[in-house]
Amino acid sequence: MSIQGTEDIILEVKNLQTIFKTDTGDVRAVDGVSFKLPKGKTIGIVGESGSGKSITSLSILQLLASNGKITNGEVFYKGDDLLKLTENQMRKLRGNEISMIFQEPMTSLNPVYTVGQQISEALMLHQNMSKKDAFIRSVELLQLVGIPSPDKRVKNYPFELSGGMRQRVMIAMSLACDPEILVADEPTTALDVTIQAQILELIKELQDRLGMSVIFITHDLGVVAETCDYVAVMYAGQVVEYSDIRTLFHQPKLPYTIGLLKSLPRHDIEQDKLEPIKGNVPSPHEMPVGCRFSPRCPAATDLCRTKMPQLETDENGNQVRCWIYTDEWTGEAEVDIYGETRIAKSGGAKTVLPD
């Protein structure tokens, strides 16, 4: 599976940078995020807490808090750079062509309106439906997301629903206008495992039926393995590795990705034990000058500690931000990463992986 190839790219994020002004200085929450989303496919965004996953998606939709500002980059959607659109044009796009399931469903459902009123509002606003048609469609949507007795539930207020149902309502709302792109930020983390599986199945089913493209943000690599075609790994505000799902799981390149694969629970393989990556994510106020992972990286050299690597693309369209994979790399010929020998030759490295 190649990312370049002939696939139709529906969204391309290029070198995105988002800064928050705070009392203690600027926070570069997103600082060099690039990825491509092929039409009809799912891209997963993974990375530790605070790595900038939510802010990346909120930047794409331009829904940042008032102290936040996009200071660089481009977000191409159907040939237009979204960052150049007016707020009015963006408003038409949000919820209509690009819609989002937020990380915290309670904060995005309005407690004083019934779920039917909220779904109907989106339909009346974006699809010019009459109140009556919008109400009928709301019941259909609740049914579509698997809510029992949708004709009764449509009249419920958010507090009358369980967490799993609220999440389904959020999904129903985000799908109300048949979006081209669905951005789902940890849509299932707060739910129990069975409901999680049902919701993932539902998103997949709708994707097949509607040809939607999905950006899926999650901590759970097992979920990534089951749902995504491509994965962008984020670290400290940057995309550090981007590849198709097979390559990511079978030939991860970055020491960080390898660490992440070993430290997070996966349901796709048997794991003897989880090994957390040593050390912590750098504070946004004290970013390392070189590679941001270098203070925690078992393979880091002086080059890594002093100069920031760029995101390089290989012949398959996969990307890595790591000195090991460049001609400049003069580190050990054999590098031991997390207890396994990976051969790293000067002038371009190869990873040798366990079966």
Ligand X SMILES: Nc1ncnc2c1ncn2[C@@H]1O[C@H](COP(=O)(O)OP(=O)(O)OP(=O)(O)O)[C@@H](O)[C@H]1O
The residues binding ligand X (CB under 6 A) are 20, 22, 27, 29, 47, 49-55, 65, 67-68, 103, 284
The option from ligand X, Mg ion, none interacting with 112 (CB < 5 to 8 A, set by class) reads none
User: Going edge to edge, which strands form the sheet with 68-77?
Assistant: 25-38, 9-22, 68-77, 80-81
The item of Mg ion, ligand X, none sharing an interface with residue 67, based on CB under 5 to 8 Å by kind, is: ligand X
* 294 belongs to the binding site for Mg ion (CB under 5 A): no
Residue 188 as a binder of Mg ion (CB under 5 A): the answer is no
Q: Is 118 in the site for Mg ion (CB under 5 A)?
A: no
Tell me the closest approach of the beta carbon of residue 90 to ligand X, in angstroms.
Answer: 19
Least distance CB 57 / Mg ion (angstroms): 8
182 versus 322: smaller Cβ distance to Mg ion? 182
| Chosen from ligand X, Mg ion, none, partner binding at 44 (C-beta under 5 to 8 Å by type) | none
Residue 17 sits in the site that holds Mg ion (CB under 5 A): no
18 close to 68: Cβ distance less than 8 angstroms: yes
- Selected range binding Mg ion among 49-57, 219-227, 268-276, 300-308, rule: CB under 5 A: 49-57
Query: Among 17, 42, 51, 54, which residue interacts with Mg ion (rule: CB under 5 A)?
Result: 54
Task: Collect contacts of 78-85 with beta carbons under 8 A, ≥24 apart.
Answer: 78/10
Q: Long-range contacts for 19-25 (Cβ within 8 Å, ≥24 apart)?
A: 19/68, 19/69, 19/71, 20/65, 20/67, 20/68, 20/69, 21/67, 21/68, 21/69, 22/67, 24/285, 25/285
Question: From the list Mg ion, ligand X, none, which binds 68 (C-beta under 5 to 8 Å, kind-based)?
Answer: ligand X
What dihedral angle (degrees, nearest 10) is formed by the CA atoms of 299, 301, 304, 305?
A: 120
- Give the burial class of 209: count Cβ atoms within 10 A of its Cβ; 0-12 exposed, 13-18 middle, 19 or more buried: exposed
Q: Which two tokens stand for residue 211?
A: 């040809």
Give 17 or 218: the residue with its C-beta nearer to Mg ion: 218
The residue range among 52-60, 70-78, 224-232, 342-350 that interacts with Mg ion, by the rule CB under 5 A, is 52-60
